[in-house]
Copies of this chain bind each other. A is one copy, B any other.
Amino acid sequence: MLEQLKQEVYAANMLLPKYGLVTFTWGNVSAIDQEKGLFVIKPSGVEYDKLKPEDMVVCDLEGNKVEGAYNPSSDTATHAVLYREFANIGGIVHTHSAWATSWAQAGRDIPCYGTTHADYIYGAVPCVRNLTAEEIEAGYEENTGVLIAEEFKKRDIDPIATPAVLCKNHGPFTWGKDAADAVHNAVVLDEVAKMAARCEMINPENTPAPQVLQDKHYFRKHGANAYYGQKG
């Protein structure tokens, strides 16, 4: 089933150690086949240098395993919710990448301090609250996804324009139009998180980039009037 998608998800998972985003098995990538309503995800706790494309696990949008020799990632239920709630995303990444996780542990949104951030992520990266004991008990991974989706609705954030979130005391999720794009955004997020921490160290009174500059950079890369790259 879904051999091409398994290959893509495998390749995207292998980018995580290449870009220095994971230690040991601390990360997972998935991608969805929108027509079939199925997604492919990394198995749980398998070392990256032993992974093979055929080890990828196929799940339905309730997070149930449909095909695969291994258990899917322990975060599968979170991925399933995000695919249900964020209709047009094609791939999702979860890591414990060090700088983004440090912001998550600090429980703070990452302000948009510059154009590196604005080029890819519109506005601050939101940090969602801790789940309550009841929410953890009732379904930790699923409720993580529910909380993310609620927070985006509550704050009126478009998940296509802001493809990243921090879960308090945990770590980041990013997404994109496919698995590789979701990894791209995970790399951007950690770089942005690093520079945001450092510029606050350099200037503790720092304020976000002017909205007009954020808009300029975001929209020179995205939307009808984009002119960055070769397709604009």
Which residues on A are within 8 Å of B, measured CB to CB?
23-24, 26, 43-46, 70-71, 74, 96, 98-99, 101-108, 113-116, 130-131, 133, 136, 140, 169-171, 184, 187-188, 191, 194-203, 206, 209-210, 212-213, 216, 220, 227-230, 232
Contacts and interface: CB of A to CB of B under 8 A. Distances in A.
A212 to B, nearest CB: 5
Given A103-B199, A213-B131, A171 B98 contact: no
Copies in the complex: 4
A209 B169 contact: yes
A23 B21 CA distance: 13
Contacts of A213: 130-131, 136, 169-170
Best-buried of A198, A201, A227 by chain B (most CB within 10 Å)? A198
A115 B191 CA distance: 21
Nearest to A184: B24
Contact of A104 (B98, B99, B114, B169): B114
Given A187-B24, A201-B201, A102 B195 contact: yes
A4 to B, nearest CB: 22
Contacts of A130: 209-210, 213
A220 B46 contact: no
A202 B171 contact: no
B114 A170 contact: yes
A201 to B, nearest CB: 6
Contact of A74 (B113, B169, B228): B228
24 contacts: A24-B187, A44-B230, A71-B227, A71-B232, A98-B195, A101-B195, A102-B198, A102-B202, A105-B113, A105-B114, A105-B199, A106-B202, A106-B203, A108-B203, A113-B169, A130-B209, A130-B210, A130-B213, A131-B213, A133-B210, A136-B213, A169-B209, A169-B210, A200-B202
